[in-house]
């Protein structure tokens, strides 16, 4: 089963939920293998809580076009086919913009003069490790790199297909989020009871309904703010599966990179019940 932990906005505690869910269900007999994929490749931080021992590290590349000007006839086909303005033909010149290229290969495939070859451009690094029985994979995007979906794909490709996979999804509702959540059996949306939390929750709910992925909500810092998230969930018939109140001890543990279930072991049972609820909804 693949469970995505997402949120419409950053800073709601989705990494906290993802890592503590994994630590609570490992070695409980729920599945032979538990793995966490940190797909928040622009700012991965699940490793801070899981503290994995990394056993593998490899670069991730994106194939981008390189033009052979000896062969090029400046026909313009490559510029016409590119949906991302990553290659442009201007008079007797072909300009390429590797940082815009999605590596789809259309230009090299359709070049009538066979003048385009693909060369590798490194966009990040993939690391694989283990943490107390949890298999861990994350991607680290190169600084200033915008092309995160191919790295997210690489993280997901490195995952095993068995057991329970928990995906820490990037915040928001844009392409990297869709890349991370697609294929999930369930998505838990972590939010907070504030106007910003509600606004971004609504956007995330709309996205998941389009993707037809079953989902529920977890409310972090549930005792601050207002009741509008609760009211919205009742109106939309959305299950609130967990509420985590504001707790100074938890905040201190979080700031030190200590998992919630290590600081307060009584929370393990609540995360196990969360998995039971998700199982019932899938």
Q: Which residue, 28 or 122, has its beta carbon nearer to ligand SF4?
A: 122
Q: Should residue 111 be labelled a site residue for ligand SF4 when binding is judged by CB under 6 A?
A: yes
Least Å from the CB of residue 244 to ligand SF4: 42
Q: Should residue 81 be labelled a site residue for ligand SF4 when binding is judged by CB under 6 A?
A: yes
3-state SS, 196-210, equals: HHHHHHHHHHHHHHH
Least Å from the CB of residue 179 to ligand SF4: 16
The enclosing H or E element of 37 equals strand 34-38
CA distance 217 to 142: 32
**Which of 5, 21, 25, 82: binder of ligand SF4 (CB under 6 A)?**
82
Task: Give the interface segment with ligand SF4, choosing from 52-60, 113-121, 184-192, 216-224 (CB under 6 A).
Answer: 113-121
With beta carbons less than 8 A apart as the criterion, state whether 43 and 14 touch: no
Q: Should residue 62 be labelled a site residue for ligand SF4 when binding is judged by CB under 6 A?
A: no
Q: In what order do the strands lie in the sheet with 53-67?
A: 53-67, 116-131, 134-141, 34-38, 164-168, 2-6, 186-191, 215-220, 240-244
The enclosing H or E element of 241 equals strand 240-244
Least Å from the CB of residue 151 to ligand SF4: 16
| Interface residues toward ligand SF4, by CB under 6 A | 65, 67, 72-78, 81-82, 84, 86-87, 89, 94, 101-107, 111, 113, 115-116
């Amino acid at each position: 089963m693949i469970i995505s932990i997402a949120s419409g906005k950053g800073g709601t505690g989705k990494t906290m939920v993802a890592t503590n869910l994994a630590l609570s269900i490992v070695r409980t007999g729920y599945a032979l293998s538990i793995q966490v994929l940190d797909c928040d490749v622009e700012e991965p931080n699940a490793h801070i809580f899981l503290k994995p021992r990394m056993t593998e590290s490899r670069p991730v590349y994106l194939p981008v076009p390189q033009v052979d000007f000896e062969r090029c006839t400046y026909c313009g086909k490559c510029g016409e086919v590119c949906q991302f303005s990553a290659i442009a033909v201007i008079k007797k010149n072909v300009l390429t913009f590797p940082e815009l290229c999605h590596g789809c290969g259309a230009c090299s495939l359709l070049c009538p003069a066979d003048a385009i070859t693909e060369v590798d451009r490194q966009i990040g690094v993939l690391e694989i490790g283990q943490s107390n029985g949890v298999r861990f994979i994350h991607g680290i995007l190169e600084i200033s790199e915008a092309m995160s979906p191919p790295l997210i794909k690489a993280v997901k490709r490195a995952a095993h297909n068995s057991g329970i996979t928990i995906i820490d999804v990037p915040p928001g509702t844009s392409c990297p989020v869709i890349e991370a959540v697609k294929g999930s059996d369930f998505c838990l949306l972590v939010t907070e009871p504030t106007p910003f939390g509600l606004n971004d929750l609504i956007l995330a709910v709309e996205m998941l309904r389009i993707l037809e992925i079953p989902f529920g909500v977890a409310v972090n810092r549930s005792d601050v703010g207002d009741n509008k998230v609760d009211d919205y969930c009742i109106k939309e018939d959305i299950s609130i599966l967990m509420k985590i109140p504001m707790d100074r001890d938890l905040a201190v543990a979080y700031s030190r990179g200590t998992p919630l279930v290590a600081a307060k072991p009584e929370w393990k049972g609540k995360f196990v019940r969360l998995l039971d609820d998700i199982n019932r909804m899938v």
